[in-house]
Structure 1
Amino acid sequence: MNSMKPLLLSLLTTALLSGCVTTESPTGRGQTLLFSAEQMQQMGDSSFAEMKRQQKLSKDKRQTDYVNCVARRITSVLPNQGQPWEVVLFDSEQVNAFALPGGHIGVYTGLLKVAEGPDQLATVLGHEVAHVLANHGNEQVSRAQLTGVGMQIADAALGGVGVANKDLYMSALGLGAQVGFILPFGRAQESEADAIGLELMAKAGFDPAASIALWQNMDKAGGGQGVELLSTHPSHGHRIEELQKRQAQVLPLYHASQAGVKNRCQLGK
Structure 2
Amino acid sequence: MPEAASAQPTRATLGASEFDRDTALTPREPGVYDIDLSAGWTIINAVNGGYLLAVLGRALADALPHPDPFTLSAHYLTASQPGPAVVRTETVRTGRTLSTGQASLFQFDEQGREVERIRVLASYGDLDSLPDDVRTTAKPPAIPPMEQCFGAEDGAAPVDGSSAIADRLMLKLDPSTLGWALGQPSGKGEMRAWFGLADGRDPDPFSLLLAVDALPPTAFELGLSGWVPTVELTVHVRSRPAPGPLRVSITTRNLAGGFLEEDAEVWDSDDRLVAQSRQLARARLA
Q: TM-score, normalised by structure 2?
A: 0.27
Which structure has more strand as a fraction of its residues? Answer: 2
> TM-score, normalising length from structure 1?
0.28
More helix by share: 1
